[in-house]
Amino acid sequence: MKQSFFAVKTDKNAPHDEGSINAQLLTRGGFVKKESAGVFSFLPIGLRVLQKIKRIIREEMNAVDMQEILMPALIPKENWQQTGRDNVDIGFKTDRNYILGWSHEEIVTPLSKLYINSYKDLPVALYQIQTKFRNEPRAKSGLLRGREFSMKDGYSFHLDREDFQKYYDRVAEAYFKTFERAGLKSYKIEAGGGEFSKLMSHEFAVITPAGEDVMLYCSACGFARNAELRENEKEEPKKCEKCGSELKKDKCVEVGNIFDLATKYSDAFNLKISDKDGKQVVPYMGCYGIGVSRLMGTIVEAFHDENGIIWPKTVAPFQVHIISLNQDEEAKKLEKELEKEGFEVLFDDRDESAGKKFADSDLIGIPLRIVISGRTIEKNSVEWKERAKNEAENTPLSEVVNKIKSFYA
């Protein structure tokens, strides 16, 4: 794609009223545009990133046999009344009998009555990637806490608690994989609190100074827990309670969570199935969330330097950024060749100074930059510069395509 066709421009100034790194860099790079507190438009390259993240999530959810569906954002008030959640503060009320969906137990549970009738239909799990609305008293930190945001929410149904537990652990593994593929090291934290305080729930957290939470974690075995959880203890233990190694303490962002719902919602909506003996039993439920747009913000918080974003290869808006310094013909040839090989290429064909092109390239953060200039053409080569590295190197023109293939292998 030619950069000159972009509807989006970079800006060397950060918005004066944005404090967080993700909001500043994503805005300056033309990924997002804030419309009001916690509400964003996603511009062409920002949407590309979001969709890469969604794709990873879909692949991992499909891999644990969740089926994708799409539920509405407008949820009838009577559904909320049935669970007593119609007056929860974070729900946006409308002037009709709807409340904007901030979670979807109230839709997925009655919906599932249509096709879950027997133990033979279980287990089953459904998920969606959809826009959630939460009337946060204080939206903040760019994409990290919004009022309107993209979320993956999944719900599973089981004959009994044992079957649920097996699936819960399977999803937890899928979550680790999902975040790892998005470039992030995540920790599973035992979480109490909230509505489900008596039931099991876990948060998935990523370490970054921009985080709102604090966790204690063991770098040896990966065990982690919320640092505030046991405030009453005068001194926090220094050793991991699982393996005895040193515990560390850091700020973190919650990017996912998984909950044991037990039969709370099945009961509320009178969801019942026949077991093997023909007896009516109440299915056991679990619920599984990932903050999709929050994950995008978290990635920026985790991967940037003073010049801009450094996207992980798996979620970058493009794979190769070609910069031409008065060598558009050669650059176009390379662009075509790479696109034929299936690579996503951004070609900076703009009539801008070299400095501006380099600065924009660093800001946008595509993992690999290829410069073609008079200097490189002389040597029948290109300049190879990885965004994550400081040094550039010369690469013969004839080897570039293969080298890119192995870079992305």
Partner RNA sequence: CGGGGCAUAGCUCAGUUGGCUAGAGUGCGCGGUUUGGGACCGUGAGGUCGCAGGUUCGAGUCCUGCUGCCCCGACCA
* Residues engaged in binding RNA (CB under 7 A): 9-20, 23, 28, 34, 36-38, 85, 88-90, 102-103, 136-141, 145, 193-196, 212-213, 307, 325-326, 351-363, 371, 373-376, 383, 385, 392
Q: Which one, 28 or 48, has the nearer CB to RNA?
A: 28
Shortest approach of RNA to residue 97 CB, angstroms? 19
Taking a C-beta distance cutoff of 8 angstroms, is the pair 18, 142 a contact?
yes
DSSP string, 49-115: HHHHHHHHHHHHHHHTTEEE----SEEEHHHHHHHT-TT-TTSPB-SSSEEE-S--HHHHHHHHTTT
How many Å apart are CA 280 and CA 263, to the nearest integer?
14
Q: Which one, 32 or 316, has the nearer CB to RNA?
A: 32
SS3 333: helix
DSSP H helical segments within 124-231, as ranges? 161-181
- What residue has token string 């679990």? 286
How many Å apart are CA 399 and CA 401, to the nearest integer?
6
Shortest approach of RNA to residue 197 CB, angstroms? 9
Q: Is 180 left (phi over 0), alpha (psi -120 to 50) or beta?
A: alpha
Shortest approach of RNA to residue 139 CB, angstroms? 6
Q: Which one, 183 or 211, has the nearer CB to RNA?
A: 211
Q: Which one, 118 or 326, has the nearer CB to RNA?
A: 326
DSSP string, 8-26: ----SSPPTT--SHHHHHH
Shortest approach of RNA to residue 15 CB, angstroms? 4
How many Å apart are CA 284 and CA 188, to the nearest integer?
22
SS3 354: helix
Q: Which one, 390 or 406, has the nearer CB to RNA?
A: 390
Q: Which one, 141 or 181, has the nearer CB to RNA?
A: 141
Shortest approach of RNA to residue 29 CB, angstroms? 9
* CA-based nearest residue to 205, from 136, 126, 294, 105: 294
Shortest approach of RNA to residue 188 CB, angstroms? 16
DSSP 29: T
* CA-based nearest residue to 323, from 362, 273, 270: 362
Shortest approach of RNA to residue 274 CB, angstroms? 30
- What residue has token string 């515990």? 247
Shortest approach of RNA to residue 362 CB, angstroms? 4
Q: Which one, 221 or 354, has the nearer CB to RNA?
A: 354
Shortest approach of RNA to residue 333 CB, angstroms? 16
Shortest approach of RNA to residue 27 CB, angstroms? 9
How many Å apart are CA 379 and CA 395, to the nearest integer?
9
Q: How many CB atoms lie within 10 A of CB 354?
A: 12
Q: Which one, 221 or 392, has the nearer CB to RNA?
A: 392
DSSP 282: P
List residues bridging with 155 in a β-sheet.
126, 287
Q: Which one, 220 or 354, has the nearer CB to RNA?
A: 354
Q: Which one, 141 or 156, has the nearer CB to RNA?
A: 141
